[in-house]
Amino acid sequence: MGNIFTKSLVIDFSIQWLMFLIAAYLRTEKFYDLTGSPTFIILALRSLLTASRFFPRQVIQTCLVSTWAVRLGLFLFVRVMQAGKDSRFNKVRGNPKLFFIYWTIQGLWVFATLLPTLILNAKQDDRPIGYRDYVGWGLWLAGVLIESIADFQKYNFRQDPSNKDKWISTGLWSIVRFPNYLGEILLWTGLYLSASSTFKGVWEHTAVISPIFVALLLTQLSGIPILERQNLKRWKDNAEFMRYFKNTYRLIPYIY
């Protein structure tokens, strides 16, 4: 099992750092997300196909990871190509040291998030599919639907010229301010839950770091904090936005 993790780490960071060199030379972030998503697919498929045998749960898990990666990667790539840039990188693309940190964080994100799948696919024994798997796959489906609908609603909102310089506060965005991130956290929690039905011992259960890392990354580091700073800087003097900001839950309805 250790050999699979070592090779996955090497492949993961080799991809990120190679693409960083190209991106830094061109001073562009346009293929940042398009690199992260295929890395998920490469590592998940490799961990499955290099095993001497694999089972239905492993195939389902790998397919779910790949489905999510294809959808999100293509969506983010189309978005950044249409916009011409990603505002998250406004102070980064011209700073190679900081840009390198972003690509390295992406490598950590891929590996930490994919850890339950890597552990699951490395197993050569199986357990019958049970309620934990169905609950986990249900959470994955709910998460993907929430994320996809939220992305679609925001994309359509931005396509309307009359909404230029406005914020979206309709659809799922009227319930929480970051429904796409809620979906992301839910789907990785579901994949951990399903994979954990085969885990044994403390080491394998440390894969719970996957949904925890995703949640911390989105709520404390690169997701919500950056976007909220940008939004407040842009619309802090707009009374309507401030009402939306103060009266709409951040991520989880009725909780947070």
How high is the pLDDT of residue 237? Answer: 93
How sure is the predictor about 82, in pLDDT bands with cuts at 50, 70 and 90? Answer: confident
Q: Higher pLDDT residue, 136 or 84?
A: 136
* Alpha-carbon torsion (19, 21, 22, 24), positive or negative: positive
How high is the pLDDT of residue 2? Answer: 60
How sure is the predictor about 187, in pLDDT bands with cuts at 50, 70 and 90? Answer: very high
CA-to-CA distance for 157 and 248, rounded, in angstroms? 18
pTM value > 0.85 = yes
Report the 10 Å Cβ neighbour count for 148: 16
How high is the pLDDT of residue 1? Answer: 61
Considering only CA atoms, which of 25, 38, 46 is closest in space to residue 77? 38
Q: Which residues contact 105 (CB under 8 A, 6 or more apart)?
A: 217, 221, 222
How high is the pLDDT of residue 52? Answer: 73
44: DSSP letter? H
